[in-house]
Structure 1
Amino acid sequence: MDYRRRLLFHGICLFLIGLFTGLAEQHFANVRMALAAHLEGVMNGTFLLAVGAVWRDVKLSSRASAAAYWTLLGGTYGNWAVTTLAASLGTAALSPITGAGHSAPQWQESLVTAGFITIGLAIIAASVLLLWGLRGKAPPPG
């Protein structure tokens, strides 16, 4: 699989999703969280574009490359999705600033909290894999 090209594709796709989320901000139960969801889409899309741009320099085994790719996609899309869910439900889970003045039933708060924890762990795992793959000397130019 051409991970580099797929990361670039998903970066633009997630960036576009973030833009559309921004257009719909006023229709969410928690407008501040909707702004956060818009920013998550745009920023995570940009992150995927940056990773795609340096992917040729990431030196990992095929198994580790696949793990990095899938945790990147799960983490970045998941970050946007969980934040959008939180904006839709009006939860305040793990977001004292964007959630100020909002609350939802406990099961919704727990769902969003579990989502944010899972996504956080995925992004950390992907970042560690990328850092590992970028260690050492860069290949000579040319």
Structure 2
Amino acid sequence: MKIESIENTYHLSQTSLTKNQVQEYRRTYLWHGFFLFVLGCIIPMFIDLYTNPRAALSAHTLGIMMGTFLICVGLAFPYIEFAGKWLADWAFWLLVVSSYSGITIQVMAAVFGLIKTFAITGKGFPGGPEWMEISVDITAKVISSFTLVACFIILYGLRQVKFDSLSSKE
């Protein structure tokens, strides 16, 4: 039985990236995804040490979720059509920065008992210093925007592209 590579079995995107660049992005997405997944598994090991254990469980969930999301993007990467390398770079950095920043502010909420941004997980805790509450609140809003922009870039790259009549007769 002959084993064919995925490139021979399915139509891959006609992106402006080379095959080596696509493989490098894919490997990097997968690496960061698995690393975030592992961080998400490590966080609850120290649940008794956090000021706010509910926020620690939220950080655990976020690490698992964002890790899985980056793994999925890495697996889907060969099918995403980017107009240029700069767009692939933007999507990558927006997702990676928002993933690590998100897990960092969740862990900060767990360690310092922050409540301003974390109304549900912070209920019943006194809160942290005002400067920390404000900076975490701003960071949470900015990284949410980063994730949304990256998702729109990826969705645009995954749109169905019409092929000309010559290429469809293959």
TM over 0.5: yes
Spell out structure 1 runs of 4+ moving beyond 3 A: 137-140
Match of 1:114, SS state, is: helix
Q: Distance in 1 between matches of 2:65 and 2:131?
A: 28
Q: Distance in 2 between matches of 1:28 and 1:111?
A: 20
Alignment of 1:52-67 (within 5 A): 52-60=74-82, 61-67=84-90
Aligned to 1:123: 147
The counterpart of 2:159, out of the listed 129, 135, 139, is 135
Alignment of 1:75-114 (within 5 A): 75-102=98-125, 103-114=127-138
Match of 2:72, SS state, is: helix
1:92 aligned partner, one-letter code: I
Match of 2:26, SS state, is: helix
Q: Distance in 1 between matches of 2:114 and 2:156?
A: 36
Per the normalisation by structure 1, the TM-score is 0.93
1:27-76 CA distances to partner (integer Å, 9 max, x unpaired)?
11111001000111111000000111100011012110000011110011
Per the normalisation by structure 2, the TM-score is 0.78
How many residue pairs get aligned? The number is: 140
Q: Distance in 1 between matches of 2:108 and 2:161?
A: 42
Aligned to 1:29: 51
Flag the structure with more relative contact order, 1 or 2, with Cα contacts below 8 A and sequence separation at least 6: 1
Aligned to 1:50: 72
Structure 1: give runs of 5+ residues left out of the alignment: none
Identical residues among aligned pairs (%): 31
Higher helix share: 1
RMSD: 1.6
Q: Distance in 2 between matches of 1:138 and 1:38?
A: 42
Structure ID, larger Rg? 2
